[in-house]
Amino acid sequence: MKIAVIGAGIAGLTAAHELQKNGHQVTIFEGSDHVGGLASGFKQPNWDWSVEHFYHHWFQSDKYMLPLIDELGWSDKVIFPLPKTVMYYKEKFYPFDSILSALLYPGLGWGINKIRFGLVGLYLRLSNNWKQFEKYTVEAWMRKYAGDKVFEEMWEPMLVGKFGERYAKQVNMAWMWARLKARTTRLGTFEGGFQAFCDLFAADLTKRGVSIHLNRPVALIERTADHQIAIHSQDAVDLFDQCLVTTSPKLMSKMAPSLPEQYLAGLLNLKSIGAVVLILSIKHQLSKEGYYWYNLPKKAGFPFLALVEHTNFLPKEHFGGETILYCGDYLETDHEYFKLTKEELLERFLPSLQRINPDFSLDWVNHSWLNRAAYAQPVPLLNHSKNIPDIRTPIKGLYFASMSQVYPWDRGTNFAVEIAQRAAAMMQSDSA
Ligand SMILES: Cc1cc2nc3c(=O)[nH]c(=O)nc-3n(C[C@H](O)[C@H](O)[C@H](O)COP(=O)(O)OP(=O)(O)OC[C@H]3O[C@@H](n4cnc5c(N)ncnc54)[C@H](O)[C@@H]3O)c2cc1C
């Protein structure tokens, strides 16, 4: 069969891999000039490794991504350093990357709250029935079982940071369950960076006969009278037997306006928020303690949610000896950070780095890069499982697989692989 895949992110590349393996003729249409999508990276001439546009790593529990890399024969290129994650409390930072360090974190005091925090964490890690959780908000469930103090100190700042004030109160407890279930403290990456992995993956697909068209944004997808799927991109119309779209739900609704109203409304009802990430290359190490990931609660007054010192995860020799920092935040797309220029954001962000290292000064900054994504994090509201659009759309031969459908799991490259494999299996069985 002739199959089109829209998008060369991790989901698109994985689907192409699965479909090609089963003997199909696959063509990928990618709107940008590179593969990798949200997981892509960039490189300066003096860097050996790429830096991801948005901080990325794998978890040791990634049970779809790691076997895929193994199947492709590149497991020896995956590394799992053990970086240090810290949590803010009263102008100081405390380790926060193991159950023990979480228990030693002073924000909860030393009494009953710590015990409740530990017991609730253990209960969630041992529970397997996520469906029971989706009818509660994280706030209602945590206040009831972990208590107000544990919720307000530990979980509320994370929810506000990740979903903003508006959605933090509405996110359902299954999302929190999944997040606690599927994460490890050791974090992984690929030799050369995520872009190196994506480029290798794309090159392997090309060698096996998959056509990858970059700079080919798809404008319209429709079913023809003779039961084919027509892909309109630039001035060309190409015909396929099946098509898988891996973009955001909103883009899908624009590309395929002939989908039935109910399916379109379902796509448009899905909530998500964006991400704004400023990357800095600076002259000296910022964290004297070698911390990698700083969780920064909004109420502590930092102008962003996460500070990530990439070169405390990977050696700075890969990046020409420069220290690489990410200052990132998840925000609704009408937030001013989506409009401010890079210079305006630098003005807002840089002074706060002195709270991490008082020696930091503006002349430490070599270069900066600003990345924004409108569709960065789906927001799962109450009973979200009822709102997940089917991968198999009502248009015969047209399929849709996005970050919004990997629920209850939090979006991530591991689940992009999982949903792509599921979609490819469905397409394969429909064609049999
Ligand atoms: C700030 C941030 C941090 C993250 N951290 C991690 C992490 O640590 N670990 C992890 O595993 N995951 C992380 N993720 C999530 C991860 O990036 C995504 O889950 C994953 O990359 C999604 O892959 P995808 O293929 O589904 O979608 P995408 O990567 O969004 O791919 C969709 C592709 O479609 C293309 N496209 C769009 N419109 C069109 C069109 N009209 N025609 C053709 N092509 C089009 C896009 O250019 C893109 O390449 C993070 C994401 C963000 C935003």
Query: What domains lie within the chain, and their CATH numbers?
Result: 2-57+192-270+389-431 (3.50.50.60), 101-176 (no CATH)
Do 409 and 182 contact (CB within 8 A), yes or no?
yes
Nearest CA, atom 49, ligand 1: 37
Ligand 1 lined by 54 (C-beta under 6 Å): yes
Beta-carbon-side half-sphere exposure of residue 162 (alpha carbons within 13 Å): 20
290 — pLDDT class (breaks 50, 70, 90): very high
Tell me what pLDDT residue 113 has. Answer: 86
Do 72 and 201 contact (CB within 8 A), yes or no?
yes
221 — pLDDT class (breaks 50, 70, 90): very high
Lowest-pLDDT range of 82-86, 95-99, 324-328? 95-99
Distance 373 CA to ligand 1 centre (A): 9
Ligand 1 lined by 114 (C-beta under 6 Å): no
Lowest-pLDDT range of 159-168, 272-281, 314-323, 339-348? 159-168
Distance 32 CA to ligand 1 centre (A): 12
Tell me what pLDDT residue 177 has. Answer: 93
Average pLDDT on 400-417 reads 95
Ligand 1 mutation target, pool 247, 326, 370, 410, most atoms within 8 A of CB: 247
Prediction pTM value: 0.95
Ligand 1 mutation target, pool 56, 221, 399, 421, most atoms within 8 A of CB: 56
Which ligand 1 atom is nearest residue 402's CA?
Answer: 26
| Closest of 4, 22, 1, 401 to residue 237, by C-alpha | 4
What's the rounded Cα separation, in Å, for the pair 12 and 124? 32
Average pLDDT on 8-25 reads 98
pLDDT digits (tens, 9 = 90+) for 351-367: 999 999 999 999 999 99
Which ligand 1 atom is nearest residue 376's CA?
Answer: 53
Would you say residue 166 has pLDDT above 90?
A: no
Tell me what pLDDT residue 115 has. Answer: 86
Ligand 1 mutation target, pool 413, 415, 417, most atoms within 8 A of CB: 413
Cβ contacts of 297-303, under 8 Å, gap ≥ 24: 297/88, 297/157, 297/160, 297/161, 298/157, 298/160, 298/161, 299/157, 300/88, 302/88, 302/352, 302/355, 303/327, 303/329, 303/348, 303/349, 303/352
Nearest CA, atom 35, ligand 1: 7
Distance 224 CA to ligand 1 centre (A): 29
What type of residue sits at position 302?
F
* Phi, psi dihedral angles at 314 (to 5 degrees): -125, 150
325 — pLDDT class (breaks 50, 70, 90): very high
Which ligand 1 atom is nearest residue 29's CA?
Answer: 43
Ligand 1 lined by 30 (C-beta under 6 Å): yes
Would you say residue 121 has pLDDT above 90?
A: no
Ligand 1 lined by 10 (C-beta under 6 Å): yes
Ligand 1 mutation target, pool 38, 187, 391, most atoms within 8 A of CB: 38
* Phi, psi dihedral angles at 241 (to 5 degrees): -85, -35
Ligand 1 lined by 175 (C-beta under 6 Å): no
Q: What number of residues does the chain have? A: 432
Tell me what pLDDT residue 261 has. Answer: 97
Nearest CA, atom 13, ligand 1: 412
pLDDT digits (tens, 9 = 90+) for 227-256: 999 999 998 999 999 999 999 999 999 999
Distance 199 CA to ligand 1 centre (A): 15
| Closest of 364, 374, 405 to residue 387, by C-alpha | 405
72 — pLDDT class (breaks 50, 70, 90): very high
Average pLDDT on 179-188 reads 80
Average pLDDT on 391-409 reads 96
3-state secondary structure of 95: strand
Angle 112-126/138-145 helices, nearest 10 degrees? 120
Ligand 1 lined by 154 (C-beta under 6 Å): no
Would you say residue 132 has pLDDT above 80?
A: yes
How many other C-beta atoms can be found within 10 angstroms of the C-beta atom of residue 28? 26
User: Looking at residue 362, what DSSP letter applies?
Assistant: G
Proportion of the chain above pLDDT 90, given as a percent? 80
The partner residues of 5 in beta bridges, in order of sequence, read 28, 244
Tell me what pLDDT residue 25 has. Answer: 98
User: Would you state the structure tokens that stand for residue 71, as one six-digit string?
Assistant: 């199947």
Average pLDDT on 275-280 reads 98
User: Looking at residue 411, what DSSP letter applies?
Assistant: P
